[in-house]
């Protein structure tokens, strides 16, 4: 069974940093592209970033480019999202998701809430 378990969310002040982790199990992690998707309270889904199997192909949404960094550790079956210079508008549930045929998404974690507030 595919499992994606996010951690690292919490309350942070504007301008602060946070690092999200996603522990993957139930599939061959190193063979899949991975994505982060977020959802602000009461709003729709927004694609944030994706990374290919060996970290050679990475892409970001314009809203986070230059502030967020996606990475992975295939030995630990773990995906990361380093979030710097956080803004109030970054407040959202962040979902770790598995890539389907690379650029699409099939499985989702349960999400971790990030709140940016003074």
Partner 1 sequence: SYELTQPPSVSVSPGQTARITCSGDAFPKKYGYWYQQKSGQAPVLVIYEDSKRPSGIPERFSGSSSGTVATLTISGAQVEDEADYYCYSTDSSGNHRGVFGGGTKLTVL
Binding footprint of partner 1 on the chain (CB under 8 A): 35, 37, 44-47, 50, 59-62, 95, 100-111
Contact present, 92 and 68 (Cβ < 8 Å): no
Report the distance separating Cα 47 and Cα 60, nearest Å. 8
Task: State the nearest-atom distance from the C-beta of 27 to partner 1, in Å.
Answer: 14
Sort strands 78-83 and 18-25 into parallel, antiparallel or unpaired: antiparallel
Four-point Cα dihedral 86, 90, 96, 100, nearest 10: -120
Task: State the nearest-atom distance from the C-beta of 44 to partner 1, in Å.
Answer: 4
Task: State the nearest-atom distance from the C-beta of 17 to partner 1, in Å.
Answer: 24
């Amino acid at each position: 069974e595919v499992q994606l378990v996010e951690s690292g969310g919490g309350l942070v002040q504007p301008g602060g940093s946070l690092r999200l982790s996603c522990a993957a199990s139930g599939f061959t992690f190193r063979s899949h592209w991975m994505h982060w998707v977020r959802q602000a309270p009461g709003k729709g889904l927004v694609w944030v970033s994706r990374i290919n199997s060996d970290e050679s192909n990475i892409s970001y949404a314009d809203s986070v480019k230059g502030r967020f960094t996606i990475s992975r550790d295939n030995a630990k079956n773990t995906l990361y999202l380093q979030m710097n210079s956080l803004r109030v508008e970054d407040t959202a549930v962040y979902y770790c998701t598995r890539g389907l045929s690379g650029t699409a998404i099939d499985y989702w974690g349960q999400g971790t809430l990030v709140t940016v507030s003074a």
